[in-house]
Chains A and B, each alone.
Chain A
Amino acid sequence: MKKWIALFVIGGLALLCFFELRKKSASPNVPQPSSAPTARAGNERDVAPTVPAARTNKLTAAPALPDLPEPVRAAQTVMFKYVGAVKPPRFDPTIIAFNMKTNKEGRITSTTITTRSHTAVTTGGFVSLFVSLLDSAAPLEEYERAHSMEKWYQLTGTWTRDEAVAETKLILQRLGQTSVLSRVTSEVYEATPLDMPAPDGQLAHVTPFITVKLKGEDDRLFVTAQYRMEASGPVLTRWTYWP
């Protein structure tokens, strides 16, 4: 009798585990169109993943989304126009998530598209945010955010203020935003040198990121461009544009 009870209990537990596993595999990361901010448990990132597999799981292995809704396809076209003009390195066009934000009248005010390499937010006919998930100063990928600064010692590129400002204005011009360009009244150049330790313990005196801001009257911020100062040259990793 005891043997049967034990078998019954073990069988029950096995079934429970089976259903739990099924439940988990049946709820992938599906984008939820929502205009409300998303809450997240406060301390879920306290333990950083220790293996690069986490990176693989979230981005590169995420499945492409089939049958995109029309507003997302329109946003995708806007994003491709931006990509054609700016040519961001390591860009992977495979869309793995999207989100449409609406106002209280139900009109879509912005569309967010996440590819395997970048997140783009489009508003109307332009890209208002384009950010690298892996290479920006605050990467949006879990593994990269936990470990990115360990590689900053390699960012030995240099740039003058004039070069950085000129490049930012050139991008704005390539995007066809010449009317906004003519409203720019001041430029802000932010370059903070840091002493970043290399794995051998040596300190590298580098300026890992340079940021240029283009402003108009009343301190209105039109553009924030963040460049990653790689040894081979600056790479635009974060672009915000709000005319």
Chain B
Amino acid sequence: VSGAYNPNNWPNDGYYNVTEWEVRVTVTSSSSLEGQSPIVATATVAKPQHRPKWQYRSGICVQQDPVKLLSPNIYAANQVEWDNNVDLIFKACWNGAPQVYLSGATKDYSAQGFETMFTRFDWTALKTLVDGRTVPTSGNLVSDLHYLGHGGPNGIGFGISNSTVGQQLTATALKKMMTNGFMFYVCLDGCMTSESPGLLSMFLGGVDKQMTRSDCVGKGKTPCFGLGFKGKVNIAYFNQGTLFHRHFTLMADYYSKLAEPNQITGYLLNTFEDSVNFAKNPNGNGIDPTITHNDDGADMAYVGCTDCFFDDLP
């Protein structure tokens, strides 16, 4: 099994361009007792392919149907604020990759809002987009996912009941699906989605801890990043007469920072970690000038390349 990796080509080149590496090591002792043959020890290490080379990215922002419908009496002004928040995240995600509809067709930049999943058919469409088995040569149809909705340590979506069968994406299902390609960016804006790194790592090819950009360069790893929440999250904007601004302020500040470009070249200025840090502690310089420290950020937890950029991968 042969293959080559030149770190100068990172991130366009991955460490493995073959299905499997097999390293056979044989060690022979330099001296042996007279009359005896040299002592030989052998070991074989097989390493599966980490991820195919990605040339193009595309992403999707989705919300689970009830997130918005939890707000039946939402005031018009709040509706505008909701729409602005969602639109900000959607447009920020364009800096990482062109966004698509659930159908897979490219969404127009001027289109507003997330894709909404109402039925199990919508969930099936999402699964098709993130399923690494779908396209044999390049893996997933989308490399970036922003999800807003119910979550848990073992999946996103509803719990399984008669009325909601099929309206979830579980870690177990992901494990089966992600056999031919993993994702670059995943933000799971739901409860306990990073209570343990297991769920995020299912999307990211097993990456379950933080690493540096240099680590990625040296090991030829794809510069992936996953963000979630360790605890419960107030993702319902308007629930039981209470407005939850702070969570949306947190996400808006995170994405505003992440998508801030250099004016001349267009390359993004801030790393994932710096953006999270800013969202947690905007010091009055975020979307809401009254927030210096955002308590909703206490449960934010992430894995992957901390000092990478949203536009690191072409």
Contacts and interface: CB of A to CB of B under 8 A. Distances in A.
Interface of A: 29, 31-32, 35-43, 45-46, 58-59, 62, 96-99, 101, 103-105, 107, 109-110, 112, 114, 119, 121, 123-124, 129, 131, 133, 137-138, 140-142, 145, 149-150, 152, 190, 192-197, 208-209, 211, 218, 220-221, 224, 226, 240, 242-243
A97 B264 contact: yes
B274 interface: yes
B262 A119 contact: yes
Interface in B47-94: 55-58, 88, 91-92, 94
Size bin of chain B's contact surface: 35 or more
Given A138-B267, A194-B217, A226-B307, 4 more contacts: A31-B263, A43-B314, A103-B289, A109-B289
Nearest to B214: A192
Contacts of B123: none
Nearest to A31: B263
Interface of B: 6-8, 10, 55-58, 88, 91-92, 94-95, 97-98, 109, 212-215, 217-218, 255-256, 258-267, 269-271, 273-274, 277-278, 280-281, 283-289, 298, 307-309, 311-312, 314
9 contacts: A35-B256, A40-B311, A41-B98, A96-B264, A112-B263, A194-B218, A224-B274, A240-B274, A242-B274
Contacts of B8: 149-150, 152, 196-197
Contacts of B256: 35, 37, 101
B91 A39 contact: yes
B264 A114 contact: yes
B289 A105 contact: yes
A150 B58 CA distance: 28
A110 B262 contact: no
B269 A121 contact: yes
Q: Which of B55, B91, B266, B308 has the most CB of A within 10 A?
A: B266
A99 B309 CA distance: 20
Contacts of A97: 263-264
A42 B56 contact: yes
Contact of B265 (A58, A129, A221): A58
B7 A196 contact: yes
Given A104-B287, A195-B7, A240-B274, A114 B212 contact: no
Contact of B285 (A43, A110, A149): A110
Nearest to B308: A138
A101 B95 CA distance: 17
A220 to B, nearest CB: 6
Contacts of B92: 37
B95 A39 contact: yes
B285 A109 contact: yes
